[in-house]
Amino acid sequence: MLRRFSFLLPAVLGPSRGVPPRAANGYGGLVLAAVLVLSGAGCQPGGDSETGPAGQEDSTVRCETPPTGDELRGVWLTNVDSDVLDSRENIEEAMAFLAEDSLTGQPIDPQYEGRDPLGELVAAAHDRGLVVIPWFEFGFASSYGTEGAGPILQKHPQWAARDTSGALVTKNGFDWMNGYRPAVQDFLMNLVMEVVENYDVDGIQGDDRLPANPVEGGYSDYTKSLYRQEHDGRNPPTDPRDEGWKQWRADKLSDFGRHMYDDVKAVDSSLVVSWAPSPYPFGYNEYLQDWPAWINRGFTDLIHPQVYRRNVQEYEDFLDTQRADQAGWDGSNVHGFYPGVLMKVGDYRMTPEELKTVIRTNRSRGIEGEVFFFYEGLREDGDELADVLKSCYREPADLPFDPAHVP
């Protein structure tokens, strides 16, 4: 049985494998994702749980949450605010750290020129029994923080998502492609298939932008024409928050999720298809992510709603709204529900006591695992939070699925 940690990492595609990019139009190597690294096992230090070497008191904040069965332990590794992917040496060090100490367009970004970071990462992780699931973080977003369209929409302006005024849809700094358009869907599917066909990954993951589109969109000529075809020639409602109009667009995005799931499983049925959507119903109301339907329709293996809160009480309250009985999904249709936990972003980092409380909260609710955003939070202040996880994850546990490429 697998007794290792797994990671969600960015799918950074490189040119060194001699494989032509499936994603045509010159964007086969865009960094469009991060990676999830997962594990089912904790470290197994010597000594008892109360004292350190030579009987000294151990100051580690302890969780004392031995696994009762299968358990998922994950962390997202990104190419933003992290230097792990910058060199093979950094990747090797990070994989060793996670395995042993903690948790048991453009052809390529110029800083990765001449390398294949995803290939390096998969090899280093698998050597240590870690599971790697590339996380297609950007999804249907085309660019961030640009003034006007980024390189994808400059090349394919007809791919742009449009609001009621005909303007490019931009939300929270992200510019968006039209996720209802077949060419855009094919673009994303080609990236996904490039990864699963050419790398020994253990699955793939969508994000709060895949499948997703802002509720303000849907007014491109193509999408309006498609709606008219299915509604006796009527135009879509001018109110983007009209309930029927929202559901129609959400269903189209869900259909893409089904397509993505089926195509990945056709390559290898043991590959995991997981989703890390925005919380429900926020994700539905703002980005048309009807993820309870994804579970109920049978194209979800793992679900990681991003329960990102900086206050433990708010985390506990919000977590309860995502559970099956509240959000309306069938727990028998999914391998596991493992919430995304905000460990660090910008200048924020959770405290050791908060980390311990979050894990205890999950276990008290029968939630046997979690995924942390993100890796660098483990390493700050002398690996302080990693030391907490050594305590929380002391006992080995098996993953809730059989990995495709880790024995």
* CATH (residue range 5-392): 3.20.20.80
Range list of β-strands (E), 170-265: 170-171, 174-176, 203-206
Please give the span between the terminal C-alpha atoms of the chain, in angstroms, as a whole number.
Answer: 8
> Is residue 376 helix, strand or coil?
helix
Query: What are the two backbone dihedrals, phi and then psi, of residue 194, each rounded to the nearest 5 degrees?
Result: -60, -40
Bridge partners, residue 51, by sequence: 57
Identify the three-state secondary structure at position 110. helix
Distance (Å, rounded) from C-alpha 3 to C-alpha 12? 26
C-beta of residue 370 within 8 angstroms of C-beta of residue 305: no
Name the residue ranges covered by the structural domains of the chain.
Answer: 5-392
Whole-model pTM: value is 0.79
pLDDT tens track of the chain, all 407 residues?
Answer: 333 344 444 443 343 333 333 333 323 222 234 667 666 544 333 333 333 333 344 444 455 656 666 777 777 776 666 777 788 888 887 777 676 544 444 566 788 888 889 999 999 999 998 999 999 999 999 999 987 789 999 999 999 999 999 999 999 999 999 999 999 999 999 999 999 999 999 999 999 999 999 999 999 999 999 999 999 999 999 999 999 999 999 999 999 999 999 999 999 999 999 999 999 999 999 999 999 999 999 999 999 999 999 999 999 999 999 999 999 999 999 999 999 999 999 999 999 999 999 999 999 999 999 999 989 999 999 999 999 999 889 887 888 999 999 87
